[in-house]
């Protein structure tokens, strides 16, 4: 026969029940702010019900009978947007990797690490469109403006990914290099970089995927590419051509994402999977010999 004895009967003090006051007050304050911000917007709520009908109307105009006569020009502009995104990704990676490694704890000194992290935060706070508008006064309406804006805007996020990846590397290899008499440069080269390189390459390809989508937006402000063509035909209300352009953008973006995703999986998992296959094949051969 089992008997259960409560903590109170044993004379033990029960821990106090956690207070829900702070989370409740936070939720109330956030809700009030959202309601206040919504009430301050000049929104005619009577028009909300007409949105599905308008979407169906313009969707029919764009996709019922797309105009494929402009397809060669659309493919050329899409290639220009991809080139712009690729150049921006390369510029971003070339700058962010060394700066991000210097911003990592244990690599760069404090007087350099903190300003670099602050610089990354400032760049992340600026959208690509704002950077492109600032660059337009210097470089003009050219695809180089879009590539430069993508490269600068990506430094903030990419640099943060780099120093977080470096700081998450196991300490064993770093301690081994230091024990052999290596300094910070040797630790970075022979311990941190080999361990972090696959993840950093994967992040670089992911940055390229982001640039593909953002390059279309930058075209709306005159940076060139498929976005400029899309903005022009939208302004002229040529919806059949706009529908064709949207189809090209979606297909190109999904294709690039699929290819880039396959490459990233190959980089991060390929060596391990190949090693597992070889190990499995070796075990099968040993079993066959026995």
pLDDT at 117: 92
- The stretches in the chain having pLDDT less than 70 are 1-15, 170, 172-173, 175, 222, 270-290
Tens digit of each residue's pLDDT (9 = 90 or more) over 203-234: 888 888 888 888 888 877 767 788 888 888 88
pLDDT at 281: 56
Q: What domains are defined for the chain?
A: 68-270 (1.10.3720.10)
Q: Is the dihedral of CA 121, 124, 130, 132 positive or negative?
A: positive
- pTM for this prediction: 0.72
| Residues listed for the chain | 290
- With b for 16 or more beta-carbon neighbours within 10 A and e for fewer, the 31-53 pattern comes to eeeeeeeeeeeeeeeeeeeeeee
Tokens describing residue 176: 């081994």
d(CA 233, CA 42): 29
pLDDT at 286: 46
pLDDT at 180: 73
pLDDT at 126: 87
d(CA 189, CA 230): 46
Tens digit of each residue's pLDDT (9 = 90 or more) over 173-183: 676 777 777 77
d(CA 246, CA 180): 58
d(CA 263, CA 266): 5
pLDDT at 287: 46
CA distances 267 to 47, 162, 201, 211, Å, are 49, 16, 8, 20
> What does the mean pLDDT of the chain come to?
80
d(CA 8, CA 89): 64
pLDDT at 231: 85
Tokens describing residue 181: 């008499």
- 245 burial (CB, 10 Å; 0-12 / 13-18 / 19+) is buried
């Amino acid at each position: 026969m089992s008997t259960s004895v409560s903590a109170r009967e044993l004379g033990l003090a029960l821990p106090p029940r956690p207070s829900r006051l702070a989370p409740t007050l936070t939720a109330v304050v956030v809700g009030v702010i959202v309601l206040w911000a919504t009430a301050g917007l000049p929104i005619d709520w009577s028009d909300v019900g007409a949105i599905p009908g308008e979407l169906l109307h313009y969707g029919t105009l764009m996709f019922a009978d797309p105009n494929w006569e402009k397809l060669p020009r659309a493919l050329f502009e899409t290639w220009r947007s991809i080139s712009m995104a690729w150049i921006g990704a390369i510029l971003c990676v070339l700058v962010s990797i060394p700066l991000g490694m210097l911003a990592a704890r244990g690599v760069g000194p404090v007087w350099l690490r903190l300003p670099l992290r602050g610089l990354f935060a400032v760049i992340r706070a600026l959208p690509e469109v704002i950077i492109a508008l600032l660059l337009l006064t210097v470089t003009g309406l050219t695809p180089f403006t879009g590539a430069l804006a993508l490269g600068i805007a990506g430094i903030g996020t990419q640099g943060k990914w780099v120093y977080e990846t470096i700081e998450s590397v196991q300490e064993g290899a770093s301690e081994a290099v230091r024990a052999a008499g290596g300094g910070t440069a040797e630790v970075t080269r022979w311990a941190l970089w080999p361990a972090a390189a696959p993840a950093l390459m994967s992040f670089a390809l992911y940055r390229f995927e982001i640039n593909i989508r953002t390059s279309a937006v930058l075209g709306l402000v005159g940076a060139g590419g498929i976005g400029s063509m899309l903005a022009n035909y939208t302004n002229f209300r040529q919806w059949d051509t706009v529908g064709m352009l949207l189809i090209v953008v979606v297909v190109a973006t999904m294709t690039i994402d699929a290819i880039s995703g396959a490459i990233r999986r190959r980089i991060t998992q390929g060596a391990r999977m190949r090693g597992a296959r070889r190990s499995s094949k070796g075990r099968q051969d040993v079993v066959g010999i026995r």
